Amino acid sequence: MLELLPAPPADPLWDLTAEYAADPRPERLNLVLGVYRDHTGVTPVMAAVKEAEIRLAERSGSKEYLGLSGNTAFNRAMLTTVLGTEALTARATAVQTVAGTGALRLLADLVRQTRPGTTVWISDPAYVNHRPILEGAGLTVRPYRWLDPAGRPDGADLLEDLREAGPGDVVLLQGCCHNPTGADPSFTLWEELAGLAEANGWIPFVDLAYHGLGDGLDADLRPTRMLAERLPEVLIAVSCSKNFGLYSDRTGCAVVVGSSARALRHVETALQNAARTLYSMPPDHGAAVVATVLEDERLKAVWLAELEVMRRRVTANRTDLVAHLAALGHEEEAAALARQKGMFSMLPLTPERMRGMRHRSGVYGTTSGRINIAGVPAHRIPFLARGIADALRAPSGAGTV
């Protein structure tokens, strides 16, 4: 049997990570994976998370199975945090998942159970895992345009494409800090999208992975809450990896907003059944940490303060990179980067030039041009700017050395 297995494509992000690990140059810079790093280059454990973990350890609770919906206190806390009001949480249900990726897959399975063959629209470019997750669930994927030539979300092209989305279609939207581009719509454009969904009958599917790292937690959640207020049905995949720093604990939540509690009567069971076939039950530790933080007002305030420090550092990194790049004579490219938000930036570099930057300067980003702004130690910003400038100046065809 195994001899018949064709060679599958390797994961490009982990391939680049392995290449980085094998690179002997001490000055090399890894901006591939989407993790927050502090000024020393370390991905820290947040103080609020540490205190919650100590409390949990002191309780010495059981390691018994959670149940198919996971940690119910975590699910309640996620509904309150994401949706904000009792009126919206009363119209919603939530199931704990294996990170945001698991939430995407569970909700894709829910769509397939409800309407097999549904078309899901995703942005072009999109997060690298969106298409395989949706197609793996048996759904049809179509792209819609995202950026104009200046690197801004192109409202005219975006709306033109999504006017083709019809009743029962699903449109995947990233709630804030768009991955991979860092380019977010204005709130006015979000409202236009809500109006189009109302008129044409398609369902928003919000991927919410970076809330708190763009303009602040409530500002980043505003578009998602607006969609939930205006529309009868919204699907939301929530990740706690970035804003709680729980990357390896794989903590997430699948949220479904319906028109009424009656409309949701079968949703939780359908999500549980999907989870049963994939991983049965999610792990408890990360969810218990988040629930402990969010249910304690003092600990929640500590977390919010830490999250704001992270957000400001990411913003300062981008501002500093923009200034250095402009000083090197690349004002237009710097202006495009200045408009972006969150952990990621999309550099105006072809795959060939990204490979060239990797080989010449030791700066590792994806071939699409995405780099992790949150992964740059502050003192390495000038080095990164010079690497980008060198790549921009390199003659076409000079991809490697």
**Phi-psi sector, 130: left (phi>0), alpha (psi -120 to 50), beta:** alpha
- Nearest CA to 385 out of 359, 366, 357 is that of 357
Q: Beta strand pairing status for 234-239 and 203-208?
A: parallel
Rounded distance, CA 160 to CA 165, Å? 10
Residue 382, amino acid: P
Core vs surface per residue 37-59: b (16+ CB within 10 A) or e: beeeeeeeebebbebbbeebeee
The residue behind tokens 């919650």 is 52
**Spatial distance between the Cα atoms of 105 and 98, rounded to a whole number of angstroms:** 10
Strand extents, DSSP E, 240-290: 251-257
Looking at the DSSP bridge assignments, the partners of residue 203 are 170
Look-up of token digits 């105006």: 348
User: Taking a C-beta distance cutoff of 8 angstroms, is the pair 210, 180 a contact?
Assistant: no
Residue-level pLDDT, tens digit, the chain, 401 residues: 988 899 888 888 888 999 999 999 999 999 998 899 998 889 999 999 999 999 999 987 788 898 999 999 999 999 999 999 999 999 999 999 999 999 999 999 999 999 999 999 999 999 999 999 999 999 999 999 999 888 888 899 999 999 999 999 999 999 999 999 999 999 999 999 999 999 999 999 999 999 999 999 999 999 999 999 999 999 999 999 999 999 999 999 999 999 988 889 899 999 999 999 999 999 999 999 999 999 999 999 999 999 999 999 999 999 999 999 999 999 999 999 999 999 999 999 999 999 999 999 999 999 999 999 999 999 999 999 999 999 999 876 544 43
CA angle 73, 87, 99 (to 5 degrees): 40
Tokens describing residue 95: 């199931």
**pTM for the predicted model, two decimal places:** 0.94
Relative orientation angle of helices 297-327 and 285-295, to the nearest 10 degrees: 100
What is the C-alpha to C-alpha distance for residues 320 and 183, in angstroms, rounded to an integer?
18
- The burial of 189, by beta-carbon neighbours within 10 Å (0-12 exposed, 13-18 middle, 19 or more buried), is given as middle
CA distance 159 to 145: 9
Tens-digit pLDDT profile for residues 164-220:
999 999 999 999 999 999 999 999 999 999 999 999 999 999 999 999 999 999 999
Q: Cβ-count burial of 295 within 10 angstroms (0-12 exposed, 13-18 middle, 19+ buried)?
A: middle
Cβ burial of 5 (10 Å; 0-12, 13-18, 19+) is: exposed
Task: Sketch out the chain's domains with CATH numbers.
Answer: 10-45+312-393 (3.90.1150.10), 65-295 (3.40.640.10)
